[in-house]
Amino acid sequence: MKFLIKSATIVDPNSSFNGQVKDILIDNGQITQIDDQIDAKDAQLYDATGQFVSPGWMDMHVNIGDPGYETKEDIASGCAAAAAGGFTAIAVMPNTNPPLHSKSEIEYLKNRSKGQAVNVYPIGCLSAKREGVDIAELFDMTQSGAVAFSDGNKPVQNAGLMMRSLQYALAFNGLVISYPEDASIAEKAKVNEGVTATYLGMKGIPNMAEELMVARDIFLTEYTGGKIHFTTISAAGSVDLIRAARKKGLKVTADVAAHHLMLDETVLTGFDSNYKVKPPLRTLTDIKALKAGLKDGTIDTVVSQHTPHEIEFKDQEFETAAFGISALETSFALFNMSCEKVLSLEEMVDALAVSPREILGLAVPSIELNRAAELTVFDPDHQWTLNTENIKSKSKNTPFIGKQLKGKALAIVNNGQVVLN
């Protein structure tokens, strides 16, 4: 199949065509021509005038229910939601049943995702059964296709386990992903500790619960010589700690969830459980620090932290509702709206397409002749409204239904397939 993208502005820091308005011809999954004017009568035509094309975006923190929780999200619906959000690749957390803690589960997920327009990369468990006691079969999972190791939304409380995991993964250049939270401090609190928590009459989670674990894992990384990635950081102090670690030359990277850039704790005053996330929404001071971290490179990439739930998990009192937002389809809009005056378009594409793959050791797609076509077409000025009937995910647990959003991925091209939004 031939696909012709007309008059798109190329945004690709690794391309010789960066910043230029070009036609791009794709034939059988390959970029066969890039020119000012291309005529291909037998090609499917897409007019991208006023739009941008970049290397396909990657989200390195996605929760998919398969295996075990397919009623929340299965591979097909998760990939459809990812494509609608502009992602050509996703790395999925091991929060499944059974968890992705051996090569069998990794190979199952790889096989289940074959033929999709979105590439699916499994993140294996750091500990067996995600129990936080014994190291999982890290090397075997790497051989089967795991790109990193994490216990997902279960923070590793055992410092010895984290240390030994970093040491073991070092032998094969493996990446450990830390979800930083000291559970003994966070306990069963549901919101950020501060004025809003007091107003709501709820116990809060202090920034320190996150910052202590960031500090601990930085010390362990320095001691072992390993490499670590902090996912969904939310606190200003965490940004400072990671910035200092990077200045020391430690192998430390980090991401932030798009909703933590857009929303602060005050949106919780209406007790809408769709805003209930973990780590909790913080303050405007924290948001300012997160944006500064993105700008200076302390934070490498932005993730959706896509966490789909059936309606019964969210349609209940705030205190008992589950954490998480179904976020793949709105992640770019939130990132764009919150950071359009902070980051250039090229910096945003670097955070969406280049940095996550570099962190995971994956090949970075580029818009060049004779390269595989893995592209995202998008418009940062596109105004749109999220409607329930248009959501591709199985789950609708998002506070943005009916809200006006700015910035949308309009098409992806990958694996010889085209998905138009």
| Amino acid at the residue 270 | G
Q: What is the pLDDT of residues 292-340, one digit of tens each?
A: 999 999 999 999 999 999 999 999 999 999 999 999 999 999 999 999 9
Q: Are residues 284 and 344 in the same domain?
A: yes
Q: Is the dihedral of CA 14, 16, 20, 23 positive or negative?
A: negative
Domain boundary among 337, 360, 383: 360
Same domain, 255 and 392: no
Same domain for 46 and 193? no
Q: Which of 360, 389, 408 is the last residue of a domain?
A: 360
Q: Are residues 408 and 308 in the same domain?
A: no
| Whether 82 and 29 share a structural domain | no
Same domain membership, residue 354 and residue 293: yes
pLDDT given at position 10: 98
Band (80; pLDDT cuts 50, 70, 90): very high
Give the CATH number for residue 202: 3.20.20.140
What was the pLDDT predicted at 138? 97
Mean pLDDT score, 142-163: 97
Q: Which of 360, 378, 395 is the last residue of a domain?
A: 360
12 and 68 share one domain: no
Looking at every residue in the chain, the average pLDDT score rounds to 97
pTM, two decimal places = 0.97
| CATH value at residue 384 | 2.30.40.10
The count of other CB atoms within 10 Å of the CB of residue 49 is: 9
Q: Where in the sequence is the domain holding 312, given as residue range(s)?
A: 56-360
Domain count, the chain: 2
One domain for residues 24 and 94:
no
Beta strands 375-385 and 404-414 are: antiparallel
Could you give the percent of the chain with pLDDT greater than 90? 99
- In angstroms, the CA 175 to CA 359 distance is 8
167-185 pLDDT, tens per residue?
999 999 999 999 999 999 9
Does one domain contain both 148 and 182? Answer: yes
Nearest to 191 by CA among 257, 314, 276: 276
**Same domain, yes or no: 13 and 102:** no
91 and 206 co-located in one domain: yes
Residue 41 has pLDDT above 90, yes or no: no
Q: Taking 90 as the threshold, does the pLDDT of residue 1 lie above it?
A: no
Residues paired with 9 in a beta bridge: 21, 52
For residue 40, name the pLDDT band (cuts at 50, 70, 90). Answer: confident
Same domain, 72 and 102: yes
